[in-house]
């Protein structure tokens, strides 16, 4: 009877998977495994659902278990290769892609992924070899003053200051697939790079009476959904501030439009419009998940490089009213870390977050329901439990931490007894997850007010359209 039960549970998991309800799919596959833990396909099915949730570490573990049960199970090598590729472990992925291609030579997709992965390994080695500690800025030699905007350009001009007219025109241009003139792109990025470079690693802000602050999570290149937030909730203004909590770019195919619009608002309202860095405002993620390719396609490589410099300058956290620490990922491997440690962190010494340390943890970690700390389901960083969050909030006199970094089916989730709030603002994420988006409004009472919203239609350009050789576009 247990075997029949297990198959029935797996089928329910398949139905949930088809409905793009990844958490329910994982739940059913887990129950199937409880009923029969010797069937490798249950593990590969769950691995695929984990991949959809970006829980790549769990996917690698499941695929490895399936291989342990059946060394000739090609699908398990395929899943493990996909998950390792996703977390940029190209050398590990190559090993599995090679096995898949050998066992299944007719699989054209696997062959393409194998070749793309080989290119990635070579490119990673090349970039490491030419890395210079104090490389000159990509803006060096740019003569913006004498850069001509052709008379054929049909947009509002940008002078010395950002204007509402320019922003309004930019919003409409981007809706219709038009680009900004490169001169204006350079101007915007370089201006905002200077503004954010001079902000502290943890920005501290208070909400004055009569004003409002909206906190948004990942927007991931979903430009039309970003405009929906503004339509529903109001555009940024002198009395209505916004905080975007990282991952503006990658995956969605309007990442440059989002980054430029957010940067234009940052220039317009430098003291009430805030941007935290996310794990996707980093070079290796941008190379894999589309932003580099998009910048090259729409503008040029120099635009990407200057964006990269500006991402490195972004603050890593924002403290709202001394009550809410807002950062992209989450908490730390060490209970002794305090707000003062974040204040003291010199982010300018380290442009990319690396594989360990405070910056990496701020950008990559996730909450877990169990107490203590655990290995990351992503395969990068770690997970922290409710007791860790409670101790951190008590030690730093905080009500809660606000973080993003993970899809939530309702757009947001309050967990860890109210001390940990996740907000995610990319509804129908990647056109394939049936989640809502959300944002949080605060006034000077500092009580969070949650708002959900649905995805809106967008032009027919798929997510990951500019990703490296279509890697991970599956």
- What SS3 class is residue 9? helix
- In this predicted structure, what is the pLDDT of residue 252? 97
First to last CA, the chain: 36
Residues lower than pLDDT 50 in the chain: 1, 470, 472-474
2-130 and 164-470: same fold?
Answer: no
- In this predicted structure, what is the pLDDT of residue 474? 38
Q: Is 280 a catalytic residue?
A: yes
- What SS3 class is residue 324? strand
Percent of the chain residues topping a pLDDT of 90: 89
Query: How far is Cα 424 from Cα 396, in angstroms, rounded to an integer?
Result: 25
Query: How far is Cα 71 from Cα 40, in angstroms, rounded to an integer?
Result: 10
Q: Which residue has the tokens 């992503």?
A: 378
Q: Which of 293, 273, 280, 267 is nearest to 189 (CA)?
A: 267
Query: How far is Cα 366 from Cα 387, in angstroms, rounded to an integer?
Result: 14
- In this predicted structure, what is the pLDDT of residue 79? 96
**DSSP E strand stretches across 340-415:** 366-367, 373-375, 382-384, 400-403, 412-415
Query: How far is Cα 447 from Cα 443, in angstroms, rounded to an integer?
Result: 7
DSSP run (H or E) holding 241: strand 240-245
Query: How far is Cα 23 from Cα 95, in angstroms, rounded to an integer?
Result: 29
Six token digits for residue 241: 């501030």
Domain ranges for the chain, please list them.
Answer: 2-130, 164-470
Six token digits for residue 60: 């690698």
- In this predicted structure, what is the pLDDT of residue 328? 98
Q: Which residues pair with 330 in a beta bridge?
A: none
Q: What is the CATH number of domain 2-130?
A: 1.25.40.10
Q: CA torsion sign, 376 to 380 to 385 to 388?
A: positive
Q: Which of 74, 79, 77, 90 is nearest to 52 (CA)?
A: 79
Q: State how far Cα 416 lies from the chain centre.
A: 22
- In this predicted structure, what is the pLDDT of residue 131? 72
- In this predicted structure, what is the pLDDT of residue 133? 64
Could you tell me how many residues make up the chain?
Answer: 474
pLDDT tens-place string over residues 296-350: 999 999 999 999 999 999 999 999 999 999 999 999 999 999 999 999 999 999 8
Instruction: For residue 216, give the DSSP letter.
Output: E
- In this predicted structure, what is the pLDDT of residue 4? 84
Instruction: Kindly report the pTM of this predicted structure.
Output: 0.94
- In this predicted structure, what is the pLDDT of residue 130? 76
The catalytic position among 220, 280, 405, 419 is 280
Q: What is the CATH number of domain 164-470?
A: 3.60.21.10
């Amino acid at each position: 009877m247990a075997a029949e039960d297990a198959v029935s549970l797996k089928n329910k998991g398949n139905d949930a998977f088809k409905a793009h309800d990844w958490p329910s799919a994982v739940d059913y596959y887990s129950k199937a495994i409880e009923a029969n833990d010797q069937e490798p396909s249950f593990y590969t099915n769950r691995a695929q659902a984990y991949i959809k949730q970006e829980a790549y570490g769990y996917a690698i573990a499941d695929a490895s278990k399936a291989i342990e049960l059946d060394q000739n199970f090609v699908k398990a090598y395929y899943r493990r290769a996909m998950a390792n590729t996703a977390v940029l472990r190209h050398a590990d992925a190559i090993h599995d892609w090679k096995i898949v291609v050998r066992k299944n030579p007719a699989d054209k997709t696997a062959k393409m992924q194998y070749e793309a992965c080989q290119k990635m390994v070579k490119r990673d080695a090349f970039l490491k070899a030419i890395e210079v500690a104090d490389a000159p800025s990509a803006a060096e030699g740019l003569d913006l003053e004498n850069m001509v905007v052709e008379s054929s350009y049909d947009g509002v001009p940008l002078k010395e200051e950002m204007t509402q007219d320019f922003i309004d025109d930019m919003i409409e241009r981007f809706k219709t697939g038009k680009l900004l003139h490169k001169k204006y792109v350079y101007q915007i990025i370089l201006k905002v790079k200077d503004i954010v470079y001079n902000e502290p690693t943890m920005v501290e802000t208070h909400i004055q009476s009569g004003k409002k602050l909206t906190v948004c999570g990942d927007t991931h290149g979903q430009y039309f959904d970003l405009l929906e937030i503004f339509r529903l909730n109001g555009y940024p203004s002198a009395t209505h501030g916004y905080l975007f909590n990282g991952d503006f770019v990658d995956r969605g195919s309007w990442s440059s439009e989002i980054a430029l619009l957010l940067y234009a608002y940052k220039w317009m309202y430098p003291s009430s419009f805030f941007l935290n860095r996310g794990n996707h405002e980093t070079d290796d993620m941008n190379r894999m998940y589309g932003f580099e390719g998009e910048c090259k396609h729409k503008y040029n490589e120099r635009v990407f490089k200057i964006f990269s410099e500006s991402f490195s300058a972004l603050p890593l956290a924002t403290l709202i009213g001394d009550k809410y620490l807002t950062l992209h990922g989450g908490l730390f491997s060490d209970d002794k870390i305090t707000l003062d440690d974040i204040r003291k962190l010199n982010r300018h010494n380290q442009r990319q977050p690396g594989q360990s340390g405070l910056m990496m943890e701020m950008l990559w970690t996730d909450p877990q329901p169990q107490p203590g700390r655990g290995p990351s389901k992503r395969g990068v960083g770690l997970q922290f439990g409710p007791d860790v969050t409670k101790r951190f909030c008590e030690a730093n006199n905080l009500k809660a931490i606000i973080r993003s970094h993970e899809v939530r089916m309702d757009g947001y989730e309050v967990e860890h007894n109210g001390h940990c709030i996740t907000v995610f603002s990319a509804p129908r994420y990647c056109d394939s997850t049936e989640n809502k988006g959300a944002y949080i409004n605060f006034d000077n009472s500092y009580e969070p007010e949650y708002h959900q919203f649905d995805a809106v239609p967008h032009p027919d350009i798929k997510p990951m359209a500019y990703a490296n050789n279509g890697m991970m576009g599956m």
